[in-house]
Structure 1
Amino acid sequence: MIMKRMVITGIALVVSLFIILYGVANWGVSAEVKEESQVVPVHKDWTVVFSKEMNKESFTDETIQVINKKTGEKVPTTFEVSGNGESLNIFAPKGGYEVNQDYTLTISKGVTSVRDVELSKDFTYTFTTSKELPAIGSEEELKAILKKFQNEDSSMRMTVEESADVSASSEDSASSSSKTNIQVNGVDEADLVKNDGEHIYYARNNDIVIAKGSPIEKAKVLTKIDDENFIPNQLFLYNDRLVVLGYQHQSLPRDAKEEASAADSMIRPNFRSHMAVRVYDVSDPTSPKKVRDLNLEGNYLTSRMIDGQIYVLSNEYTSIHHLEEKKQNDQEVRPTFKDSAVSEDFQPIPYGKIHQLPGSKYSSFLTIASFDVTDDSTPANVKTYLGAGDTVHMSKDNLYVATRSRSFPVDAFFATSSLPEDLEQSTKIYQFHVENGDLTYNGEADVPGQLINQFAMDEHDDSFRVATTTGQFGGDENPSLNHLYTFDLSMTPIGKVEGLAKGERIYSVRFMQDRAYMVTFKQVDPLFVIDLKEPSSPEVLGELKIPGFSNYLHPLGDDHLIGIGQDTEVVKSDGRERVVTKGVKLSLFDVSDVSNPLEKDVAIIGGKGSHTDASHDHKSLYIHPDGNLFGLPIQVSEEYERKSQGAYLYKITPENGFELQATITNDQDYNVERRWESRISRMISLNDTLFTLSHEELKAVDLSTMKEVKTITFPKQNSNE
């Protein structure tokens, strides 16, 4: 009897367990929106996450609706189910939602999982549109957000000053003087050197040298700007205003106890550094006068200038621990800034101007400041966003800030010496609309993978294009792949081409009107030609495989490209193949037949160890106003032994390829290691004279004869240390 009872009990338990498991497996599907705020910009896209893999066919215009609560009208949205079927992306209507309106997103319970299980009940989510992102209202709210980020900030990012659609110059190409090689016509970029056709302005480590360059007979150093505790990095020049971007060191007071502690002084230096923007009136270049000073807490990211309106971006890392430490030391927890148009004192960014970027989990402040460089009295427009920026693209109408993210816990990173093969990578791109110096957040988009640099982004007509690499370069389990995505200007995805060059990664990208050119590399250099005439359906038209790779692509007319990179060879070592870089490689690509691109000519400079700044800094490429004379600084080595450093000047035409015109060097003896001060970093031309610039001197060469005509020694730099 006891045995029979035990058997019956056992059977009952098994049946009960089966019923429970079956019930769980077939329990109604749940849905949620993982968002911090229900007050959103008008171009907000929504992602709904489901508890089970969904049947894509069950999502229709009837089961998914967005209703304007005031009018009761249905909004014409579009949607897309993610690859794994567990999330649904609902895109804002073209032109966006109406501002300051309440909306209800509804997903009916008629939608089903792949196992035909229905949504447990109708899912509804309400939201309100706003012209700007909601502000962080108080210190308590800021702390609460940072505490939440403490274990979620899983990114390993590197803030870089980005490097760039069809190349342009920073002034009209009809000018007789060369200008900075920039990304977008009409959107100037800061550089080490600027000129006004007569005068040369050059930023060195500790000062700015101003020299007269034309006419050559009167060429000489006029003066230098040398401010204590200020390190200039880059320059803009607009009419008679010289804008200098750099870093300002500020001493901090210490009490006697702190001064007595040598260990503490090493851990906590008694100074802080912040980025600074200084504006000088150079209507008289011999006597520049500082007329404005703007200081931002954080590290310089990048800057742009449009018709005298400057835009400056900075990043500052923060954390809940950082905020608490500041509070204990009676320091302001918000980022601070100083604008001489308002006050000579630092002041905190108002909480009303600190916003959280949607979807960002970064404990960083991204600050964007803009002002008219010709107006010394109107306050700068300064906004701060809780988030971060890595790579920036700017058109005349929109600013795009890309931020890399990886779902990889920080503690796991410190517990291993390498990245996992299945590391999930993505990039979020934020769009800000630009109008008369004001920037308004407009929307965002997510793309798989990471961007190589600013050239990976481009705006053309009514579309935005971006190229990315996913996976692990050289990895076996999750090999790298390369992709191109297109969006409309409300950041709604419209097209893509994916899965190019498995096992390789992007080395350079160039967007030219209705085409994109992409260079990937592992052992050979494929050049892909991609048609973007129809943004909704990008298409690979042709491909070329050659040795070496190009880090930078520059257009030469409509049907040719100049590639700047490295020559390579594959060598065998210990039974394995590896790629070794050799000399600097210049390639001329003919893309007139898009289905059959050709490498029309090649120039190799130097051997192993040779390199050029132009491969990673497009602004170091000199371009003569007539468009056929190019120069680049190159360090020449053989078997990693340095031989020389100088400027190489080429005439480049589709008909004759690369024709070396001159090499210019400051080295007196190629076998002697020269000081870095002699290194040529830039070239410019005024009328018929080419100038090379190093920290030591300005050398002039007659472009008609290619002979040196004058050398001007720069004054010795003072130390700011």
Structure 2
Amino acid sequence: MLGVIALVLGTLTPIVIDTAFKGGYIPIKTQNTDTTQILASFKDVEGVISSELKSFKSYDDVVDYIITLDRAKTLASLLVGSQFTLTTARAEVLGLQLTTSTLTSAPTTTAKTVRTPGTNVQVVGVDEPDMVKCDGKILAVASSNKVSLVGIKERKVLSLVDLKDEQAGGLFLYDDVLVVLTTKPNNNPIILDLGLRCRCNVIIPPGVSNTTIYLYDISSPNNPKLKNKYTITGTLFTSRMNGKYVYIITTLPISGPTMPLINDAPLKTENIVKVDAIPTTYTVITALDVSTNLHSSYAFMTGYNSWLYMSPNNLYLASIKALSILEAYNAVVNAIIKYLPSNIASAVREHLEKGDLEKCINFISEYFSSRSYDEVKDLLIRVSNDLSSRVFGESSKFYIFSIKGINISFSGTFEVSGRVLDQFSMEELGNYFIVATTSTTSIIKVRYDQPVIIAPIPREDVVEVIECNDSRCVVRTITLTQTPQRQWYKPRVYVDIVPAGETENNVFTISLKELKVVGALRSLAEGERVYASRLIGNTFYLVTYRQVDPLFAIDVSDPEKPKVLGYLKIPGFSEYLHPLRNNKLLGIGIEDGGLKISLFDVSDPTKMAEISKVRVPKAWSIAYYDHHAVTIDVDNELTFIPVSVGSTSGILTISYRDDVLKVKKLIEHEGAMRTTYVDNELYTISTDMVKVYDISSLSLIQEIKLST
């Protein structure tokens, strides 16, 4: 009797990549394929051409490489959910199914010494995108597909930038230039005919987003003028601004003969670079000088990216690596090889090394078909025991890029164990890089299901027949009895990836000259995970949580020998840490399901203390996951945090004067998400309203309705 061997690795949905693009579409030309009109300054990739790291010589080379890569991925996906016939010596049905369960910046001033904080960022001097920007003269507020320009002096909306069918993804302000980042999905495939330059077409499938960078001249804010725009194929990952240079990171899945387009024109092939052996994503970095419009773009073939950290000179992208479908499957096949006859084991091993997984399965299936059901069952039990003893861990891989103006060069990679929490888990310290991770481990469990035979249940159907002869009709019934075949629930083996052991927290220091780990603290707070971290001077503060909130102080003055100076355990946990003056640290987090703000004295890291706290039961804040929502007025020693309590929302204003946290006022403002200040006026901001307050008395001065 024939059987089925089905490989379904986990709850992960396999992606079957169709590489037959060339025959499936009619080539058309896009509106703009003249690259000379697009890139005013295309810089060569410096430092990326080496024996290990190569760019491409032609578009044919790019597409040929992707098609080869797709074939390997397709083969792997074919093993997920594929069916293979299999018989055993006793003609018993055997179905084998593998399843995988799987320091804020100081207030900025203009020439007239206007006091305004700017966006709350991680690295002083490196701006981050936000939906609200203020330079002391203009308050720009993005909401959906519109950007309102509010005059600080005029206290009214001066103009409105309409993005039409595009969604704002972030703003920057530099002098009289407004930078607007937008995203918009493509509803139709884009097919680019490269003509004589390539024997192939570039195809962007529907659903892929476009990222557009708009530059507006707002020297006359009543009448903003579009200076330029740049459209990049791919999803906006994030961006940064350093001086007059904006760095935009977009991602595009590597699938089929696709490649990133800039204003509908493909990147020059020498600017497309292979980084990983089996890449999944185009990581496109575009550098733009907003004052001259000079720009350059580079596409690096990497893994999926999770977080970004940027210093004035370097850009770091973190990619989380976990046990993959392919790795789990290889582990199963390798475990089975051990119990195969030597000739079959050699053949399976040879094809596995070549990446020909389908032939591996065929050999294993053929062998299983020659054995009895009990023999196969015993073999799988031994395989299960072997797999249970192997432990797999997560890791974080970092890609480093050197940046200087619009010049970008790839510097290398390094990898540490564990998963990075967020951008604050990463910090550059001189010639070293510090990263905090949470390590979790997994094992492959094999579950065996016994076959079940369901006895057939006869079923009767009654058919009514009407027979008529002249005017006389007779109704008769005919009973039909159906006996269905026996139903077999085939025996299956499920391979689950399940957590193993407690989580651990780690701090690693990496030499940027050698790109290797030179210092490490492991197994901090077992069973907990990192919730917040911050580097202040030579002390790295780390918050973990399970039942209480341990705040660790780690000395990194000697990066190669990090050491724990002390820790403090208190109820709740902090999601965000913010440094204040006089060796104080502000923590924003949760306790008993409500908002908690803590003030820590860290003047002596060996004896840290929570010296004051404010709790707002049943309250929630966007600041838990978005540090841009937090505003600190260091001159008046005030912090402003958006909160929601029941049906009320607004801005919680807390004083930290004299090392005491005290609520000054909950400013009611429905939907308020940001605050900023200019001199002695406080601005609370929602998507449809700006309210102006006196920062000392917190009394309302004016309301400014935004256009929606």
TM-score range, shorter chain: 0.5 to 0.7
**Distance across 2 between alignment mates of 1:562 and 1:457:** 19
1:217-256 maps to which residues of 2 (within 5 A)? 218-249=154-185, 252=188
Show the counterpart of 1:643: 647
| 1:383-428 CA-partner distances (Å, limit 9, x unpaired) | 3434332111000111111100112317979xxxxxx994420110
Equivalent residue, structure 1, for 2:427: 458
Match of 2:90 in 1: none
| Alpha-carbon distance in structure 1 between the residues aligned to 2:226 and 2:573 | 45
Match of 1:652 among 637, 656, 676: 656
2:672 to 655, 677, 680: 680
Residues 308 and 423 of structure 1, relative CA distance in 2, 3 Å threshold: same
Alpha-carbon deviations, 1:617-638, whole Å to 9, x = none?
A: 11111122527211010111xx
Q: 1:318 to 1:383 in 2, by over 3 A?
A: closer
User: What is the match of residue 445 of structure 2?
Assistant: none
1:404 to 320, 335, 338: 320
Rate the CA distance shift 1:170–1:538 in 2: closer, same or farther, 3 A: same
User: Residues 393 and 441 of structure 2 are in contact (CA less than 8 Å); yes or no, is this contact kept in structure 1?
Assistant: no
Specify the SS of the correspondent of 2:500.
Answer: coil
1:391 to 307, 317, 342: 307
SS in 2 for 1:181: coil
Choose which of 639, 658, 665 in structure 2 pairs with 1:630.
639
Counterparts of 1:270 and 1:466, CA distance in 2: 37
Aligned partner of 2:481 in structure 1 is none
SS in 1 for 2:221: coil
Q: Which of 347, 352, 360 is residue 265 of structure 2 equivalent to?
A: 347
The reply on whether 1:662 has 2:665 as its aligned counterpart is yes
In structure 2, how many angstroms separate the alpha carbons of the residues matched to 1:372 and 1:536? Answer: 37
Paired residue type of 2:678: L
Partner in structure 2 of residue 363 of structure 1: 280
User: 1:148 Cα deviation (Å)?
Assistant: 3.3
1:167 to 81, 96, 104: 104
> What is the match of residue 227 of structure 2?
291
Deviates more, 1:403-412 or 1:479-488: 403-412
Report if aligned partners of 2:611, 2:659 keep a CA contact under 8 Å in 1: no
Deviations 1:98-128 (A, max 9, x none): 9899xxxxxxxxxxxxxxxxxxxxxxxxxx6
- RMSD across aligned C-alpha pairs, in angstroms? 2.9
How is 1:315-330 mapped onto 2 (pairs within 5 angstroms)?
Answer: 315-319=251-255, 323=256
Residues 273-288 of structure 1: matches in 2 within 5 Å? 273-288=209-224
Per the alignment, residue 337 of structure 1 pairs with 262
Counterpart in 1 of 2:566?
Answer: 542
Q: Secondary structure of 2:420's partner?
A: coil
Q: Contact 1:422–1:478 at 8 Å: present in 2 too?
A: no
Question: How has the CA–CA distance of structure 1 residues 521 and 251 changed in structure 2, closer, same or farther, with 3 Å as cutoff?
Answer: closer
What is aligned with 1:194? Answer: 133
Q: Percent identity?
A: 29
Q: Give the aligned partner of residue 176 of structure 1.
A: 115
Q: Secondary structure at the match of 1:584?
A: strand
Give the match for residue 141 of structure 1: 65
Cα distance in 2 for partners of 1:476, 1:141 equals: 36
Q: Superposition pairs for residues 11-50 of structure 1, below 5 Å?
A: none
1:671-705 alpha-carbon deviations (Å, 9 max, x no partner): xxxxxxx4001111111111111122111111122
Distance 1:509 1:254, change over 3 A: closer
- Displacement of 1:169 after TM fit? 4.9
Larger C-alpha radius of gyration, 1 or 2? 2
Kindly indicate whether the alpha-carbon contact (under 8 Å) linking 1:526 and 1:544 is maintained by their aligned counterparts in 2.
yes
What's the offset of the Cα at 1:294? 1.2
Q: Choose from 501, 504, 507 the match for 2:531.
A: 507
Name the CA shift for 1:311/1:585 in 2 (closer, same or farther; >3 Å): same
**Alpha carbons of 1:379 and 1:520: their partners in 2 closer, same or farther (altered >3 Å)?**
closer
| 1:595 is aligned to 2:640 | no
Verify the 8 A CA contact 1:408 1:423 in the aligned structure 2.
Answer: no
| TM-score, structure 1 as length reference | 0.66
Q: State the aligned residue count.
A: 507
For 1:614, the equivalent position in structure 2 comes to 623
Question: Please, which of 436, 452, 472 is the counterpart of residue 467 of structure 1?
Answer: 436
Aligned partners of 1:586 and 1:629: how far apart in 2?
13
Aligned residue type for 2:561 = S
Work out whether residues 405 and 425 of structure 1, in 8 Å CA contact, stay in contact via their aligned partners in 2: yes
User: With CA pairs under 8 Å and 6+ residues apart, which has the higher RCO, 1 or 2?
Assistant: 2
Q: Match of 2:512?
A: 489
User: SS in structure 2 opposite 1:182?
Assistant: coil
Letter in 2 for 1:335: P
Residue 211 of structure 1 is matched in structure 2 by 150
1:284–1:431 Cα change, 3 Å: same
Taking structure 1 as reference, are residues 627 and 294 closer, same or farther at Cα in structure 2, changes over 3 Å only? farther
CA contact (8 A) 1:169 1:182 kept: no
**What residue in structure 1 maps to residue 94 of structure 2?**
none
Q: Give 1:206's aligned amino acid.
A: N
Question: Structure 2 CA distance, aligned partners of 1:379 and 1:395?
Answer: 20
Deviation string 1:225-275 (CA, Å, 9 cap, x unpaired) is 0132221121000000000011135564899xxxxxxxxxxxx99776311
Question: In structure 2, do the counterparts of structure 1 residues 149 and 386 end up closer, same or farther at CA, with 3 Å as the change threshold?
Answer: farther
- Tell me the SS of whatever aligns to 1:141: helix
2:706 to 706, 710, 714: 714
1:135-172: CA deviations, max 9, x gaps? 47431122223433456799xxxxxxxxxxx3325846
Unaligned runs of 5+ in 1: 1-97, 102-127, 155-165, 256-267, 328-332, 339-345, 414-419, 569-581, 637-641, 667-677
Q: Is the 8 A contact 2:286 2:295 kept in 1?
A: no
